[in-house]
Chains A and B, each alone.
Chain A
Amino acid sequence: MPPIDPQQLLKALGPLLTNSGGIKGAQEASRIASLMKDATKLVSRCIYLNILRVTDSPSALEKFIEVGGWDTMNTWLDFSRNDSNDALLGEILQAYLNLPVSVTLLKKNSAAKTIKQLSKAENEKIKTLSSQLVDAWTKTIRGQNNKEESDDKKKKKKHKEKEREKSDKDKENDKKEREEKDSEKHKRSDKESKEHHHRDKDRKDRDRHKDKDRDKERSRDKSKSSNENNKDSTKSSSSSSSDHPSSKSKDPSSSSKKISLPEEAKASSSTPSVSTPAGTVPSSKTDTGANKEEESRRRPKTVKQLNTRFRSTGLFDEDDEDEVEPVKKKLDKPPIKRAGLEMRGEDLIEKKPRLQLTMPTLTPASVDLGNMTPPEVQHGRIKIIPPPKRAPAHEIQESNVFMDALQQSSYTHGPLKKKKKLTSPSATTAPSSLLRGSHSLSPPSATSPPQATSPPEEETGPTSPPLLSPTAAMAQKLPSVPSFYRDTLEDMPEPTEEKEDNVEEEDDGPPVVEGMDTSEASPPQLDQSDADISMEQSEGLSNESKESSENSSDKAPVSEGEQRVKSTKPKKSVSWARESQLEEYFYFELDETERENVNRPKSFMEMKKEEMVLDKRAMESAKRLNNDFMVEVLPWKRPKLIDDVIEVVEPGCNSQEKVVQTERERAVLCALFFNKVPDTPNEPDPDMAGEENDMKVIPLEDENGSCTEYEHTYNFDDPSSLPYDPEFGGLPLQNQGPAMNQGHMGMNNNMGNNMNANMGGGGGGANMGYKMPPALSHLLNTLRQQAQETQDPLMQNLQGRLTHVLQSTNPQDSGMLMDRILNALEPFKNQIPGLSGLISSVTNNGMDPNMGGGSGQGPRGMMGPNQMGNPRPHGGLLGSHPPGFNMMGPGNMRPNMQGGPNMPGPNMQGGPSMPGGPMMGNGGGNMNPNFYNRGPRPNMGEMRMGGPPQWRGGGRGRPFGKRGHKNSVCQHFVKKGNCRYGDGCQFIHPGPDS
């Protein structure tokens, strides 16, 4: 890029500019702003800056800022600062001066910070410019913040602004014209230098105007005369400082010094210790260069402004930087404005803040803000009072401007609070009155300084004026809270002052051990030596404070603000802290409020866990109760006693342990559980009984053989044979009646099963599931027996066919079954003897084959002895007994069998004389073993066929004899052929004869 010709550029920009060189209007401003963004060359930048400086119309400037000019300026500022291009910096700063500023704007970027820092730069031009900027901005900010609260401030601002504008316009116009010309003709450096000069002049003028305005305003505000003086001096000093060695500025500054000194002297007179440092300090600092002094004087302005700003507006960036950086610089370099102020005018400045501080505390209290007084009083009472203050403070903070809260809190955070309070107790000793006590408390660290400062207050009037508005606002807004913080703030500045004072006086000679402050500065006064002084001071302070409060109610708040700012700067250690540290309880109340906050994060995880558990439980219960539809159908009533309870013995009649326990319960208290039942009962007392093992083995068999053994079989395993209540689902009830006619069949069936046990499940098994007409089943059984007996292949063949038929036929359809069976038998009809007879009997309308003349044809030989196992009476069947009945084999019919006499004879007619159940029961019971041992369930089939009634009757009947009577066969004897009991056996040993 070729070097830019400034003139060309200006020409190009001509349409956008007014005759004077300023921006025409809002539209052009946005244009310029965009152009500026792209401007990288110094030439172009300088031109733009000059244009800005000359621009008159506020709307254009606002537009410019709005469109991004503010940021652009900031980037330039940073750039130039990094480049350490002081000339450009100066240009930029001047341009800044012309820009309208608002709080939001200042917060927008770091311009404010940078400029604040620049105000401490070495280059005095820049320093003055930037400090000017800072002053102007702080004013605007204050004005914005306090507009609502204080009309006075508004007025001030308006006046200032108007005046500024006027003066600026006039002068700037001239300047711009000149500058334009210069820029065209001369190099940049020349321009800059000239511009600087011009600007300086302008500034001076402005400052003067401002000061005058302020003075007027102050007078309006009814501020004290002293304050006015102070303010004037400070402001004048600031203005003078900006101009460096301006005779005008010097005069006011010197006057301010003088004024301050006498005032200090007054204060010191009240408090000897303080007074001494005050005197020394000024002298020491006055030694430093006049420039420094001037700068420092200027500083106070900024400091004050900043303080006030912070309170009211709460500009974070500026505050932080102002506070922090100045402090640092103070430490390092005294020349820094603030540091200088403090260093040099320690007495003045510090005392001023102190005075203000003390004043505010006193004033608020005395005036009407009960809060103000209580804190101090609290100092005396330390423990009790502090907490209540804080609570209100919190509330106020929240309700009021956020910025204020932040600042205040930042101040309060330090250990200083504790120190004060700690010191307070020590100091409390002397003071009789509460006020004194309160002061005395603070005095060791804080009170003494405040007293000293109190006088300065009056002297330091200069600081107060700018502060006035903010402080007033503060007082209005935060009556209670501010008071509390004021205390802390007061304490803060006090130590610093003391430090300085002490340092000056003692020259760091006696650094007190006070652990309170780790700060560099040595605590000016030791506890011991200071204690007395502090006492005195406190008294004096209290008096002074009262006076001051009476004098200036308005100033008090301002002083607070100043104190805060200063306090932060002072970094000095507080010597009085140690005792105060001993007491730190303020946290009582804080705890309460904090508990919630503290608990929240904790409770979150806990809540999570709890919820998990609850969910689990809910799931389980839901699972469990999912199908739980149980409902109480009846209302509960006290149950009645049952009448026919069978009680054989009195329960527990022989129990000894019962007695033991009753005794025990007399001595031992009943366990009552109100909250949680223990998981496990208590362990038993150690049992003293030894491990003597007299355990007997209980044999399974009777050693003596005297055991009565019974073997039984279930006769009613088949569900269909079981008794069912007709009420329930129409399940088959035992069919007692019809069984009489089928009983015969049952018998035959049984025979068949027994006989053909080895024939496999084919016929026999299948047979069992069918409901066949009696005649047919008889036929089948007969055939089966024949087949087994004869082993005739023909019979086998027949059997196979029958089996096939049975298996392939619906068991329930007896008619079809019969037809099929008959068809199957037809081929064999003539081949097998007796078959035709059987068939005919079957076809004879289902008549019992044994009745239909079948007896003659019946296979007599088939009837084995075993079929006698089921001898039954055929009630109603006269003379139609199957042949088998006449053939009762000796093997089954024991001679001594009880049923013997009652056995149904062949010709016997079933009738009332029949023994019935009992007899049969016996029979069944005793005879079954024979069957039983042959197969698992030999009687299954027969049960279905009609046996049940009889069997069941038998089963239920009581045996005739008692236990052990010889009514059954000895199993051992039958099986093994012998019995170890021999003749002594209780069971029958069937002999060959029997």
Chain B
Amino acid sequence: MKLVDDVVRSLRVSKIFRENTDRISSLNFSANGETLLTSSDDDSIVIYDCLNGTPKRTLNSKKYGVDLIRYTHAQNTALHCSTKVDDTIRYLSLHDNKYIRYFPGHTKKVVTLCMSPIDDAFISGSMDKTIRLWDLRSQNCQGVMYLSGRPVAAFDPEGLIFAAGVNSESVKLYDLRSFDKGPFTTFKLPQDKECDWTGLKFSPDGKMILISTNGNVIRLIDAFQGTPLQAFMGFTNHKGIPLEASFTPDARYVFSGSTDGKVHCWSTESGVKMAILQSDHPGPIQCIQFNPKYMMMASACQNMAFWQPAVDD
């Protein structure tokens, strides 16, 4: 099944889960697309079965809270940051519900966390204005970057480069092999007056970088020179909430939620808005991602919604 305009426009909610009593703060598909991992402000971790469309398992992390949860490469391990006690990043084995390792270092809320697509490295950024580079195998930080503002960071799909967004105005690309030598490329972009960058993602083909904000605009820039390619707007975000934006697996579309329960979709090529999908999410759709393998999408406020195309081919 191909992702084409008609398919994108026909996406509809086909499953709703009300497993959580509070906002779902992050979600993450497994690499094979079969399961979905979510963290919620009610301190629970819910794992969904994406093929059967059912919740699979629920774990709690009442003590430390949970946010920004990410699968690591093993099937049953995850990485998440804390909302309580401290801002340590925690490496959790879902298999036996036990933490494997803690990664202390950040002193304020962690706002960005990205796992390397190929190996055990991960990168995190915090409101303490640092970006740290880690390895799952060691609790020690591998590298730290001191910034002057809120950071965003991400690995590229090949796992060779990571990008760090600094001060909501520049993107720096580092080669993982020589990150201590400084960035090999910097894109400087005009600073948006009213909003900060809250997320940074490489497109699956690695050619574009999507920068989401807590304002009314999502920016798409070229991944090589930083050339602004598109600015996606038209969605409502009247609360200054960081709304996630995501590529489809073919990198041809970008989805974003909104605070009014609608899901917006744009074409990355033309920048044209492809669809506004009504979901009736009661809260702001802060999390939205497309399944990396399967024709389904997940969006979340307090409720989790699974989307599927209405068309069959």
**Interface pair A671/B73, CB less than 8 Å apart:** no
Where chain A touches its partner, the secondary structure class is: loop
Give Cα A639–Cα B53 distance, bound, in whole angstroms: 9
* Contact code string A628-658 (vs B, CB < 8 Å = 1, else 0): 1111111111111111111111111111111
Q: Does B287 contact A (CB under 8 A)?
A: no
What total of A-B pairs shows CB separation below 8 Å?
352
* Contact code string A681-705 (vs B, CB < 8 Å = 1, else 0): 1111101010111111111111110
**Chain A residues closer than 8 Å to B305, beta-carbon distance:** 630
Smallest Cβ distance from B166 to chain A, in angstroms? 7
**Interface pair A661/B77, CB less than 8 Å apart:** yes
Contact of A657 with B73 at beta-carbon distance under 8 Å, contacts A670-B95, A699-B181 already known: yes
**Interface pair B294/A652, CB less than 8 Å apart:** no
Contact of A657 with B224 at beta-carbon distance under 8 Å, contacts A652-B73, A714-B190 already known: no
- Chain B, 36-62, CB within 8 A of any chain A CB: 50-53, 58-62
**Interface pair B14/A632, CB less than 8 Å apart:** yes
Option from A640, A654, A689 in Cβ contact (under 8 Å) with B118? A654
Option from A624, A635, A963 in Cβ contact (under 8 Å) with B21? A624
Q: Does B229 contact A (CB under 8 A)?
A: yes
Option from B91, B233, B274, B296 in Cβ contact (under 8 Å) with A639? B296
Option from A636, A662, A932 in Cβ contact (under 8 Å) with B74? A662
**Interface pair A963/B118, CB less than 8 Å apart:** no
Smallest Cβ distance from A944 to chain B, in angstroms? 15
**Interface pair B143/A668, CB less than 8 Å apart:** no
**Interface pair A680/B228, CB less than 8 Å apart:** no
Give Cα A704–Cα B60 distance, bound, in whole angstroms: 48
Smallest Cβ distance from B168 to chain A, in angstroms? 13
Give Cα A683–Cα B88 distance, bound, in whole angstroms: 13
- Which one of B106-114, B132-140, B237-245 contacts A? B132-140
* Contact code string B85-113 (vs A, CB < 8 Å = 1, else 0): 00000011101111111100000000000
Option from B75, B101, B117 in Cβ contact (under 8 Å) with A684? B101
Smallest Cβ distance from B245 to chain A, in angstroms? 16
Smallest Cβ distance from A661 to chain B, in angstroms? 3
* Contact code string A90-122 (vs B, CB < 8 Å = 1, else 0): 000000000000000000000000000000000
Query: What are 27 A-B contacts defined by CB distance under 8 Å?
Result: A630-B16, A630-B280, A630-B282, A631-B16, A636-B14, A640-B294, A642-B3, A642-B293, A644-B3, A653-B119, A658-B72, A660-B74, A661-B76, A665-B74, A668-B95, A679-B61, A679-B62, A693-B140, A694-B140, A698-B131, A699-B181, A700-B147, A700-B172, A704-B182, A707-B183, A713-B190, A724-B272
- Chain B, 137-167, CB within 8 A of any chain A CB: 137-147, 157-159, 164, 166
Smallest Cβ distance from A303 to chain B, in angstroms? 73
Contact of A634 with B310 at beta-carbon distance under 8 Å, contacts A641-B295, A681-B59, A932-B190 already known: yes
Contact of A652 with B119 at beta-carbon distance under 8 Å, contacts A710-B225, A712-B221 already known: yes
Give Cα A662–Cα B250 distance, bound, in whole angstroms: 30
Contact of A642 with B60 at beta-carbon distance under 8 Å, contacts A682-B98, A701-B182 already known: no
Interface size class of B (residues with CB under 8 A): 35 or more
Smallest Cβ distance from B186 to chain A, in angstroms? 5
Smallest Cβ distance from A7 to chain B, in angstroms? 97
- Which one of A555-563, A715-723, A752-760 contacts B? A715-723
**Interface pair B1/A717, CB less than 8 Å apart:** no
Give Cα A618–Cα B56 distance, bound, in whole angstroms: 25
Q: Does B236 contact A (CB under 8 A)?
A: no
Q: Does A335 contact B (CB under 8 A)?
A: no
**Chain A residues closer than 8 Å to B147, beta-carbon distance:** 700
Q: Does A907 contact B (CB under 8 A)?
A: no
**Chain B residues closer than 8 Å to A640, beta-carbon distance:** 1, 294-295
**Interface pair B61/A680, CB less than 8 Å apart:** yes
Q: Does A706 contact B (CB under 8 A)?
A: yes
**Chain B residues closer than 8 Å to A959, beta-carbon distance:** 225, 227
Option from A654, A678, A725 in Cβ contact (under 8 Å) with B273? A725
Give Cα A728–Cα B273 distance, bound, in whole angstroms: 8
**Interface pair A651/B250, CB less than 8 Å apart:** no
Given contacts A628-B302, A664-B93, A679-B60, list 4 more A-B pairs with CB under 8 A. Answer: A645-B293, A699-B183, A700-B172, A719-B233
**Chain A residues closer than 8 Å to B99, beta-carbon distance:** 681-684
Option from A660, A681, A710 in Cβ contact (under 8 Å) with B227? A710
- Chain B, 213-241, CB within 8 A of any chain A CB: 219, 221, 224-231, 233-234
Query: Which partner residue on chain A sits nearest B148 by CB separation?
Result: A700
Q: Does A731 contact B (CB under 8 A)?
A: yes
Q: Does A709 contact B (CB under 8 A)?
A: yes
Q: Does B177 contact A (CB under 8 A)?
A: no
Give Cα A645–Cα B157 distance, bound, in whole angstroms: 13
Give Cα A9–Cα B81 distance, bound, in whole angstroms: 107
Give Cα A375–Cα B65 distance, bound, in whole angstroms: 66
Option from A661, A689, A716 in Cβ contact (under 8 Å) with B138? A689
**Chain B residues closer than 8 Å to A629, beta-carbon distance:** 280, 282
Smallest Cβ distance from A680 to chain B, in angstroms? 4
Option from B12, B97, B230, B249 in Cβ contact (under 8 Å) with A671? B97
Smallest Cβ distance from A859 to chain B, in angstroms? 32
**Interface pair B185/A707, CB less than 8 Å apart:** yes
Q: Does A38 contact B (CB under 8 A)?
A: no
**Chain A residues closer than 8 Å to B230, beta-carbon distance:** 716, 723, 956
**Chain B residues closer than 8 Å to A633, beta-carbon distance:** 12-14, 310
Q: Does B31 contact A (CB under 8 A)?
A: yes
- Chain B, 270-294, CB within 8 A of any chain A CB: 270-274, 276, 279-282, 291-294
Q: Does A170 contact B (CB under 8 A)?
A: no
Give Cα A651–Cα B120 distance, bound, in whole angstroms: 11
Q: Does A606 contact B (CB under 8 A)?
A: no
Option from A624, A634, A635, A641 in Cβ contact (under 8 Å) with B294? A641
Q: Does A19 contact B (CB under 8 A)?
A: no
Smallest Cβ distance from B306 to chain A, in angstroms? 7
Query: Which partner residue on chain A sits nearest B226 by CB separation?
Result: A710
Give Cα A932–Cα B228 distance, bound, in whole angstroms: 14
Smallest Cβ distance from A166 to chain B, in angstroms? 90
Smallest Cβ distance from B20 to chain A, in angstroms? 10
Smallest Cβ distance from B231 to chain A, in angstroms? 6
Q: Does A677 contact B (CB under 8 A)?
A: yes
**Chain B residues closer than 8 Å to A963, beta-carbon distance:** 185, 224-225
Query: Which partner residue on chain B sits nearest A962 by CB separation?
Result: B224
**Chain B residues closer than 8 Å to A671, beta-carbon distance:** 95-98
**Interface pair B97/A652, CB less than 8 Å apart:** no
Option from A627, A694, A710, A724 in Cβ contact (under 8 Å) with B187? A710
Option from B74, B101, B172 in Cβ contact (under 8 Å) with A687? B101
Give Cα A664–Cα B141 distance, bound, in whole angstroms: 24
Give Cα A644–Cα B1 distance, bound, in whole angstroms: 8
Option from B92, B140, B143, B280 in Cβ contact (under 8 Å) with A698? B143
Query: Which partner residue on chain B sits nearest A699 by CB separation?
Result: B182
Option from A631, A648, A682, A722 in Cβ contact (under 8 Å) with B157? A648
Give Cα A925–Cα B227 distance, bound, in whole angstroms: 8
Option from A649, A723, A921 in Cβ contact (under 8 Å) with B159? A649
Give Cα A981–Cα B275 distance, bound, in whole angstroms: 48
Q: Does A955 contact B (CB under 8 A)?
A: yes
Smallest Cβ distance from A788 to chain B, in angstroms? 26
Give Cα A936–Cα B193 distance, bound, in whole angstroms: 10
**Interface pair A639/B50, CB less than 8 Å apart:** yes
**Chain A residues closer than 8 Å to B21, beta-carbon distance:** 620-621, 624
Smallest Cβ distance from B162 to chain A, in angstroms? 10
Smallest Cβ distance from A371 to chain B, in angstroms? 59
Option from A631, A652, A709 in Cβ contact (under 8 Å) with B31? A652
Give Cα A843–Cα B120 distance, bound, in whole angstroms: 71
Query: Which partner residue on chain B sits nearest A679 by CB separation?
Result: B62
Smallest Cβ distance from B112 to chain A, in angstroms? 15
**Chain B residues closer than 8 Å to A692, beta-carbon distance:** 140
**Chain B residues closer than 8 Å to A709, beta-carbon distance:** 185-188
**Chain B residues closer than 8 Å to A708, beta-carbon distance:** 184-186, 225
Q: Does A711 contact B (CB under 8 A)?
A: yes
Q: Does B26 contact A (CB under 8 A)?
A: no
**Chain B residues closer than 8 Å to A678, beta-carbon distance:** 60, 97
Option from A649, A689, A710 in Cβ contact (under 8 Å) with B158? A649
